Structure 1
């Protein structure tokens, strides 16, 4: 008798069962399916493991995998590596990014690590870098970091006071690699249908370079009624899966398509060695924030953009 039932589907379980040779072994993961003859346990890498119910000697539900503390400094840099800019340069370990002005992330200083010079000098070099490219000097700063106060003391101010903070959320793949409600196609190159849903109108000229520039990327899509109605992008950096560019056609929202896209990318990532995942959401976007928190994502940190104040 398994000790489990269909009510346990979606929960983490441990199943002790007998192998063909007679020895006992345990399998741990999320219960994916259950019927009178067999059950399927899903590993963290999304691999399904089927067990005949008659071979089960004991089974029970166990607590979810605890969400380990995240190395915020590492994640701060990982987010940049997952979506590289068209052009990059360094001031010490700080990263300067430029992409013809498209998106704040791809056109801002990332103050991660040691600038290897006084902060005042590093910021002057950043200002020169952006002035040479006809861009405003921007810095993406983690609000909990001491660098914020240093920037402000040197005259840098909030670049977008009318906008809300951005949350960077994280969780483990165990919590988000469930079977999607919809069929999610995942490819290593986006096609015209993907770009047509990801953007309203013609994509910026630099968009393909930014979106496709990471070493290992995946482009997820859901097709309904003969057209692509939801898309997202995934990028692997070490064991981290970054999810971004999530967009659902307005006529198809509130149907769980965003959740399906995250699950589809998580299942792809598990096969690629992924173990943890992050994404970004504007703190005022309550529907998206609720969706991601219900999936198991938690806030790692929040950020804003600063710019050089007038002198």
Structure 2
């Protein structure tokens, strides 16, 4: 007997097992389990299949401690997790447009060098958005050099009445426990998923943005014949992006938001996922409490600036 079971899938384990010439220990995430075979993913993403008959001892081990995050890298990763419908570049700076739906998909992401003076780069940005009938926006990581440089060019807070947006991160080990509910995963969302994700009509560009990532999945929980909770996940390298988390008003305070995040984390683990991030308004106290309980912590925060 290995001492492990199906309930331990997604958790870190140590497995001592026989190999030619002796014994060895393997530490990794339990990816699959049967009474005859353990499938363990090592931290280097190699997958090991270990016959239970060769196992001399096995157990779950504590989650990995939350390591510091490379904020500059994560700032760029967030743009890849949910790509805009249309993009262009000014040097390394990314211009995004999606018919006005969401700030993230319709704003300048100033990361790296624009290849010209900042004032000139911002003029290019204004022209890009003017051509599309959109207000010029820049998503600014607070406290970054770009924050000070763009403000010095006269750009101001576009949403002064709204709180900061926090980008939170953690390791998959903190969020990949077995969900309390059955979480369904689909490569393409159906009408029921979109109906649960939006109040009212779905913006025409939304499917293009939501489904535009190379590796995305759509989670849902159905209760009493109704889609009660939804969320979206996308993989960029070893990062799992979690967004579009929404629980129907009739089903709140039951842990469904936690469950869909856990379902996405379990999807990401076998794909090489190691870390996860999401974005939340600081003023959204309920969501902040849920994500903090799951182990998410602040990486950085941002706001939108505009020249008008």
Matches within 5 A, 1:87-98: 87-98=86-97
Mapped contact 2:10–2:266 kept (Cα < 8 A): no
Q: Give the corresponding residue for 1:288.
A: 287
Q: Give the corresponding residue for 2:178.
A: 179
Mapped contact 2:137–2:305 kept (Cα < 8 A): yes
Q: Give the corresponding residue for 2:16.
A: 16
Distance in 2 of aligned mates of 1:146 and 1:241: 27
Which is worse superposed, 23-32 or 255-264? 23-32
Alignment partner of 1:119 is 2:113: no
Judged with a 3 Å threshold, the aligned counterparts in structure 2 of structure 1 residues 63 and 223 are, in CA distance, closer, same or farther, namely closer
TM-score under structure 1 length normalisation: 0.86
Deviation string 1:50-83 (CA, Å, 9 cap, x unpaired) is 99799645x6775431222211111111101111
Distance in 2 of aligned mates of 1:171 and 1:188: 24
Aligned residues: 303
Mapped contact 1:93–1:114 kept (Cα < 8 A): yes
Mapped contact 1:85–1:97 kept (Cα < 8 A): yes
Mapped contact 1:28–1:41 kept (Cα < 8 A): no
Distance in 2 of aligned mates of 1:273 and 1:102: 31
Matches within 5 A, 1:193-212: 193-212=192-211
Distance in 2 of aligned mates of 1:98 and 1:279: 21
Structure 1 SS opposite 2:87: strand
Structure 2 unaligned blocks of 5 or more:
none
Matches within 5 A, 1:221-260: 221-260=220-259
1:42 positional shift: 7.2
Structure 1 unaligned blocks of 5 or more:
none
1:96 positional shift: 0.7
Mapped contact 1:235–1:243 kept (Cα < 8 A): yes
Mapped contact 1:144–1:301 kept (Cα < 8 A): no
TM-score under structure 2 length normalisation: 0.87
Judged with a 3 Å threshold, the aligned counterparts in structure 2 of structure 1 residues 204 and 294 are, in CA distance, closer, same or farther, namely same
Structure 2 SS opposite 1:178: coil
Mapped contact 1:27–1:41 kept (Cα < 8 A): no
RMSD: 3.2
Which is worse superposed, 266-275 or 184-193? 266-275
Judged with a 3 Å threshold, the aligned counterparts in structure 2 of structure 1 residues 234 and 3 are, in CA distance, closer, same or farther, namely closer
